[in-house]
Structure 1
Amino acid sequence: MNDTPGWTSPGSAPSDGQDGSGVPRPTAPADANGSAPQWSKDQPPAGQWSPPSDRTPPAGPGRNWGAPPPNVHWGKPPAAKPGVIPLRPLGMGEILDGAAKTLRSYWRTVLTITVTVAVISQTANTLAQRYLVPAPADISPDATPAEELRQSLESAQSSLIGLGPSLLVTLMASTVSAALLTVVISRAILGRPVSLGSAWQEARPRLLQLVGLTLLMAAMGAAVVSVGLLPGLLIGGAPGVALVVLGGFGSLAAAAWLIIRFSLASPALMLERQGVTQSLKRSAKLVQGSWWRIFGITILTQLLIFLFAMIIAIPFTIVGIAFDGDGFSGLLSGTPTTFGWPFLIITGIGGVITSAVTYPISAGVTVLLYVDQRIRREALDLDLARAAGLPGYAATSDGRTVGG
């Protein structure tokens, strides 16, 4: 006979045959004397059950799938940008934006350079048009196509000879402007301020070599075009006209190829302090394999500059014609005419405004293309980061630069 009381859940209390939850408690069998066993009065209190909390259960599999962990950045960190461009290979938009940012950030120095150059160039051009360029010649309505071409070429030759001194002055002024702007843009890449005096001190030792490089490039282009046009001009007649057209297109294509191939020679000469020949070779090496890309960016830049120039020039031209009575009457009668001082002065003011804005954009694109090619080929971004004093970049014992 087992006199052990029956099992009950821990924490139940004796209460008329019920546990603490109101559920009847199982009873134990009577002992040999017929009396039921007594429950201990020292039972623990009834268990307290709390209802489920309102907390949201933790997310199971599939919830917020794909979200990155906190404080984790996916992909490469952004490139360092101490100045007007990020120190990495650049896109076309970033090159144009960097040139525009240089104009905005360093406008005092930049506009001082470009306005001075533009005033000198426009003054020389105005004087040449007034005193040196001959009046346009009348073309006979009965002239054959060959005669019309010959007369047009003679007129263009006379105008070019008359504008020669002006073009020479403009070329020299543009060369000085390009040299100074190259120094300014190289400092803008590092985010450093630069004054006109410091830019001049750094650019002055390289000016003669830059002038020689500019004249050599111009002579090369003129020689290529002349070689293309000369056979047609010597033959004359209808075959000569056709040959002039074909030779003209061919020579222009060859000249464009040379211009793009050596387009980075100027910043190479200024920033690497190399000679004229070495700068041409340096440009050819940097452009190799990227000719079409540099050609596309250069053409787009020149197209934007041309559109901006037209937007500025058209209103000034209309106002100049309106103020110049002789020129306006000549246009109405359809006869060749020479404009007077009012037209030349008003259009010259428009030319100064155009040149003051377009010079830094054109120079900026050239310098940034040079920097971009060196970043792509030679990891110049590490040297620029070290030169800018960015943290995490240090020079090794052999002079190389490593970046963190």
Structure 2
Amino acid sequence: MNDTPGWASPGSAPSNGQQPDSTGPQPPEQPSDQAGTDQPQPPTKWSKEQPPSGQWTAPHPQGPGQAPPPPPPGPGWGGRPPAGPGGYGGPGGGYNGWGGGPNRGYGGQPGWGGNWGPPPAAKPGVIPLRPLGVGEILDGAVSTMRTYWRTVLGISLTVSVVTEIIVVLLQGLVLDDSATTDTLSDPSASLDEVSRALGDTMLSSGVVFVVALLGTIAATALLTNVTSRAVLGKSVTTGEAWRDARPQLLRLIGLTLLLPLLAFVIIAAGTLPGIAVALAGSVGAGVALAVLGGLGAGVVAAWIVIRFSLASPALMLEKQSIRKSMSRSAKLVRGSWWRVFGIQLLAQIIAGIVSSIIVVPFAFLAGALSGDGLSSLVNGSTGSLGWTFLIVSGIGAVIGRTLTFPITAGVTVLLYIDQRIRREALDLDLARAAGVQGYGSEAPGTTPRS
């Protein structure tokens, strides 16, 4: 017999040492003086092997005048409650209250919303304070932009306008590449002219890239503080975000320039042996070696960039140096490289799609409004399109950056927070900072780490 609390075997009697009465007429009690030799007695050994009193009951129904059976055990884990109007478990039916009414748990007691699993995690801000899924990270970035749109879009729009004005002025006044485009499209151009034109094109593209990169750095620095406050459900003004980001801005610029430079050095080192072989006379072998070396170096560069991709929020939120922030990023990404890579890649794809939906129509509109029409845009000779093309396409670029800055910056910050929640139980500190009472103090509310 199993006498575990909450469990009762059918037909068993209470183990309190009392023998329940049997039903039916009982034989008259023998007087003590008549218990003689004429009464058959069971063997001595048989009487000693009898089961103890109070362990067996009669298999037939209870007779009149007998004590009522003990009440069934209360509802609980394995207990069987009495049947109610809807069947086992009382009103609403269901065994042990399962499905028997709102907020009914196993055993007929109030449960966790009628479902298995721990109670929902606290959500003081845009994300729940627990390990996040991919959709929750993307939704958190969009929710930050939607909830605090005045600050987020104000920062993105300001940075985008300033950046695009500088780019347009450089392209219209300094980096006029119309001669370069004509040289590259001329089949009779000499090798020196082509090389000079390619150098000018790379210089122009590099200057535009650096200016756009500086704008991205500024937007990332400001939006990092906004997103970190949004996790706690707290708003922040543009001035407050700037005051928090300004002490770390130079370090962020150095970090953001260091990572592309590091990737460029790795790729250049991979292609250098092939270039040397090609210059030595074996052009075919040199080109093949350069391509293979470039592909291998590209893989290494991508691994390095993703490994240090969380250094920017670590630098801004933990007030770390460049070296320590890179070390923090490497520690957080270790063992989760593919996950971080996939989420970052997905965010970049989404941002690219959103930007293309806006920028491409503006580019075609700019080509149609310019003097040379759409043919110049299709041929790529944008240097001769003039100010009309630059201004109209610049407006599209401003709108595209305004919408994509919050997505890319928000995903990076939330991914950093998610990795710290998984590895360092940051959700407990965030809950205390947000003023959540009793978070993590009970076992059902604890969150497994990975």
TM-score, length-scaled by structure 1: 0.76
Bigger shift: residues 337-346 or 190-199 = 337-346
- Residue 243 of structure 1: CA displacement? 2.5
Letter of the 2:311 counterpart:
A
- Residue 328 of structure 1: CA displacement? 3.4
Q: Compared with structure 1, are the counterparts of its residues 309 and 381 closer, same or farther at alpha carbon in structure 2 (3 Å cutoff)?
A: same
Question: Which of 93, 96, 121 pairs up with 2:163?
Answer: 121
1:239-284 Cα deviation digits (max 9, x unpaired): 2322332233222212111110000101111111111101101000
Partner of 2:36: none
Partner of 1:234: 276
Partner of 2:250: 208
Question: Which of 129, 132, 139 pairs up with 2:175?
Answer: 132
Bigger shift: residues 191-200 or 227-236 = 227-236
Partner of 1:72: 111
- Does the CA-based 8 Å contact 2:275-2:290 persist in structure 1? yes
- Does the CA-based 8 Å contact 1:139-1:151 persist in structure 2? no
Q: Higher Cα Rg: structure 1 or 2?
A: 1
Q: Compared with structure 1, are the counterparts of its residues 335 and 293 closer, same or farther at alpha carbon in structure 2 (3 Å cutoff)?
A: closer
1:82 matches 2:124: yes
Matches within 5 A, 1:219-258: 219-236=261-278, 237-258=283-304
- Residue 57 of structure 1: CA displacement? 7.2
SS across alignment from 2:372: helix
- Does the CA-based 8 Å contact 2:122-2:439 persist in structure 1? no
Q: Compared with structure 1, are the counterparts of its residues 191 and 59 closer, same or farther at alpha carbon in structure 2 (3 Å cutoff)?
A: closer
1:93 matches 2:138: no
Letter of the 1:64 counterpart:
G
Letter of the 1:197 counterpart:
G
Q: Compared with structure 1, are the counterparts of its residues 353 and 336 closer, same or farther at alpha carbon in structure 2 (3 Å cutoff)?
A: closer
Q: Compared with structure 1, are the counterparts of its residues 251 and 289 closer, same or farther at alpha carbon in structure 2 (3 Å cutoff)?
A: same
Q: How many residues align?
A: 338
* Structure 2 residue ranges without an equivalent (≥5): 1-82, 100-104
SS across alignment from 1:138: helix
SS across alignment from 1:289: coil
1:294 matches 2:336: no
Q: Compared with structure 1, are the counterparts of its residues 356 and 156 closer, same or farther at alpha carbon in structure 2 (3 Å cutoff)?
A: farther
Partner of 1:13: none
SS across alignment from 1:88: coil
Q: Compared with structure 1, are the counterparts of its residues 153 and 217 closer, same or farther at alpha carbon in structure 2 (3 Å cutoff)?
A: farther
TM-score, length-scaled by structure 2: 0.69
Partner of 1:322: 368
Bigger shift: residues 96-105 or 243-252 = 243-252
- Does the CA-based 8 Å contact 2:428-2:440 persist in structure 1? no
For residues 233 and 382 of structure 2, what CA distance do their matches in structure 1 show? 51
Partner of 2:27: none
1:366 matches 2:366: no
SS across alignment from 2:402: helix
For residues 196 and 290 of structure 2, what CA distance do their matches in structure 1 show? 14
1:304-325 Cα deviation digits (max 9, x unpaired): 1111111111211111111112
* Structure 1 residue ranges without an equivalent (≥5): 1-55, 396-401
